[in-house]
Amino acid sequence: MTHVERGLMWFRRDLRISDNAALYQALKTCKQVYCVFVFDRDILDSLPRKDRRVCFIGDSITQLDAALNLLGGSLIVRYAQAIPTIVQLAQQLHVDAVFANHDYEPAAIARDRQVAEQLKSITCTFHTFKDHVIFEKDEILTAQAKSYSVFTPYKNAWLKKLTEPGGEFFTKPYPVFSYLRALTKPPAQLVQSIPTLEQMSFDPDYAMPISAGEKGAETLFEDFKERIEFYDETRNFPAIKGPSYLSVHLRFGTISIRELVRYAYERSCVDLKKGAQVWLSELIWRDFYVQVLYHNPHVVSQAFKPEYDRIAWEEGAYADTLFKAWCEGATGYPIVDAAMLQLNTTGYMHNRLRMIVASFLTKDLGVNWRWGERYFAEKLNDFDLSANNGGWQWAASTGCDAQPYFRIFNPTTQSEKFDPEGKFIKRYLPQLQKLDKKNIHAPSLMEPMLAKAAGLEIGRNYPLPIVQHEQARIRTLERYAIVKKQKF
């Protein structure tokens, strides 16, 4: 890039200084670099007023501003619509270029197109860079130059590109700290205090149970390094400390994906156990879903496989009743209910549980996967459009490389397998505390006298199952039969 006098670094879902591609390019290219973050009202105004993610962003922004100040810069923070704000600041600061990292969601792509056009009208360029993923857009394609729709061949191609000569470039960190001399504090008249959650009409007491910012991310990562060796053995059991818990930090870019992949790959090459290898595979799934969304933006509102949009989901008051019970954790299936209560009370849900509750909603209750996807989008701390959409379409068998429609999770056997002692269930369903591991997975089948002795009254302090799994399974196979009959 041609060197310019002044640039503006626009932080978005990359709330860190270290190994930040756009920040590096800005500092390397410009003599002076200003920094900005916009609490975008086009996004925030539609969110519930109790939203842990806004609290997390606010804490991360405060941390980022403090770090920039120590390094000679500062962060301009605005609560406004992003497009006019960025263009206005570019004019006020007389910058020659605005720098940001790529965002692959359809709405973000449209936003960036508008920003670029409006900046061009004031003779300012707009430059974006890859930072959120290891491989993007057309960097991993099939032999027919098409995007992948099946994970395993995508993963093989991904690993091949990473490990071939020169592949180390893709995980090499950007040396941001070598160019900090370009960081510049904005003019005093443009400096405003960071808007509080109250000023943005959000509940300040609705915070996440994990620390925000780069410091929070690094603390979690250091902790996970001690457990990664056994990740393949522990990741599916919600009652134990198995996951990395880094998904929300990846979502908001408070840690670099390059740092995580580099570490996972190096550990997978030397560890005798498969923990790092399995974790690396899950990081590749993240890239996979991003490229699926980028190449197939229709998945935001439609099935990846168009024929699956012919499925007749439950409708009307009956569907509303089923969905309400699912949302509230009142289905009569303890593993499902505990998982939903975990989501509702913490904003987090274990990945195995996400698969169980998604399968239950779509395959046992026959409710449209889009309803569950929207609910997760509102509740999940780590909500990411590509992963959330991909996960829901996988569970509903409507997506690419999805679970075949005739494979239907049995919630009771899933519970017995992945929460065998019922420890996770008891954490969120205290009325089941006295049940033993034999009865806790299906309390409605208990002898009434045993249930009463355990303080349990089915239908009163814990609901009867709202559907019977075996009957629901038959209805699901009938529901999906329309897909099997169609010829496309």
Known active-site residue 158: no
Query: Could you read off the pLDDT of 7-49 as tens digits, one per residue?
Result: 999 999 999 999 999 999 999 999 999 999 999 999 999 999 9
* Helices assigned H by DSSP within 30-81: 41-44, 52-70
- Catalytic option among 136, 233, 282, 416: 282
Q: Which domain holds residue 470?
A: 306-481
> Has 313 been annotated as catalytic?
yes
The span from the CA of 130 to the CA of 150, in Å, is 23
**Per-residue 3-state assignment (H helix, E strand, C coil) for 321-354:** HHHHHHHHCCCCCHHHHHHHHHHHHHCCCCHHHH
Distant-in-sequence, close-in-space partners of 183: CB < 8 Å, separation ≥ 6: 27, 33, 35, 68, 71, 72, 73
Residue 285 is among the residues annotated as catalytic for this protein: yes
- Answer yes or no: are the C-beta atoms of 119 and 7 closer than 8 Å: no
Nearest to 379 by CA among 39, 51, 60, 57: 51
Residue 487 has pLDDT above 50, yes or no: no
In a domain, 201, yes or no: no
Identify whether 449 is part of a domain. yes
Task: Indicate if 158 and 102 belong to the same structural domain.
Answer: no
- If you average pLDDT over residues 286-297, what whole number do you get? 97
Least confident of 204-208, 277-281, 435-439: 204-208
| CATH of residue 368 | 1.10.579.10
Residues 8 and 152 in one domain: no
Sheet arrangement for strand 30-40: 75-80, 30-40, 4-11, 97-101, 125-129
Active-site residue 351, yes or no? yes
Q: Would 178 be classed as within a structural domain?
A: no
Q: How confident is the model at residue 52 (pLDDT cuts 50, 70, 90)?
A: very high
- End position of a domain, from candidates 245, 262, 295: 295
Tell me what percent of the chain is helix, strand and coil, each rounded to the nearest 5.
Answer: 55, 10, 40
209 in a domain, yes or no? Answer: no
The CATH number linked to 15 is 3.40.50.620
- pLDDT interval class at 485 (50, 70, 90): low
Q: Is 392 a catalytic site residue? A: yes
Is residue 313 located within the same domain as residue 459?
A: yes
Judge whether 205 lies within some domain.
no
Q: What pLDDT does residue 33 have? A: 98
How many domains would you assign to the chain?
Answer: 3
Whether residue 138 is found in the same domain as residue 287: yes
Q: Which of 369, 381, 388, 389 is catalytic?
A: 369
Alpha helices by DSSP H, listed for 123-256, are: 151-163, 213-225, 231-234, 247-252
pTM equals 0.95
- Domain end call among 261, 295, 329: 295
Distance CA 117, CA 56 (A): 31
Catalytic residue among 158, 326, 392, 394: 392
The answer to whether residues 114 and 151 belong to one domain is no
Residue 371 annotated among the catalytic residues of the structure: no
User: What is the structure's pLDDT at 383?
Assistant: 97
Looking at the structure, do residues 311 and 330 belong to the same domain, yes or no?
A: yes
Q: Are residues 424 and 291 in the same domain?
A: no
Structure tokens belonging to residue 52: 């842990």
Q: Among the three residues 270, 295, 320, which one is the final residue of a domain in this structure?
A: 295
Cα–Cα distance between 473 and 371 in angstroms, integer?
Answer: 20
Verify that 121 and 149 share a domain, yes or no: no
